[in-house]
Amino acid sequence: PFRKTEAYHSMCHNLRDAYNGVSDGDFECFDEIGEGGSALVLFCRKRSTGKDYAMKVQPKYELLRANSANKSKVIQEVKAYARCNHPYVASLAYAFQTPSLAILVMPLALCGDLRRSLLLTYTNRMSNDRVQFYAAEIISALMYLHSHGFLYRDLKPGNVLLNADGHIMLADFGSLAGKCGIFCGSCERI
């Protein structure tokens, strides 16, 4: 019942403002670590903590142009990252905007992605044990997303990030679909 009260909504608003009150000045950006569509992914460090992150920078104009038929999809990726809490699914550390950019800050996957890893292996092949390990983690991540009403529609080696601990992290929720109730506004039905 408390979740239906104005006090609950006020508390959530205050917590969101207290924990996510960052701007581009709070981060020091270094190198480009990826790109796709209209987004650029940068290696960055939060100045106050010294912690490293991946920063996805997207021009608002491009986001709105690409999603002109369904404006609610513009915030869909942010909401999906914010709701996820799984060791093999990328999460959202911070989200903010400038007058022209939408910016997502996520954990940094230090070992690149599965596509790059495949290219660096001898004859572009991995051992069966390694393939089974990654496949199991990908299935675990997809099962988690599905159990929370998300349909991940962009599975490819470039979206399977590799952490320094050897585990995967599924990323890029730009083309995610969700059941009604997961996203605000008009959402896609599975």
Active-site residue list: 154
Cβ atoms of 43 and 31 closer than 8 Å? yes
What torsion do the CA atoms of 101, 51, 33, 150 make, to the nearest 10 degrees?
-70
SS3 129: helix
Which residue shows structure tokens 């596509």?
115
Q: Which helix (H) or strand (E) holds 36?
A: strand 27-36
CA 172 to chain CA centroid, Å, is 5
Residue partners of 118: CB distance under 8 A and separation at least 6: 124, 125, 126, 157
Backbone angles phi and psi of 110, in degrees to 5: -70, -20
Which residue shows structure tokens 């609610």?
72
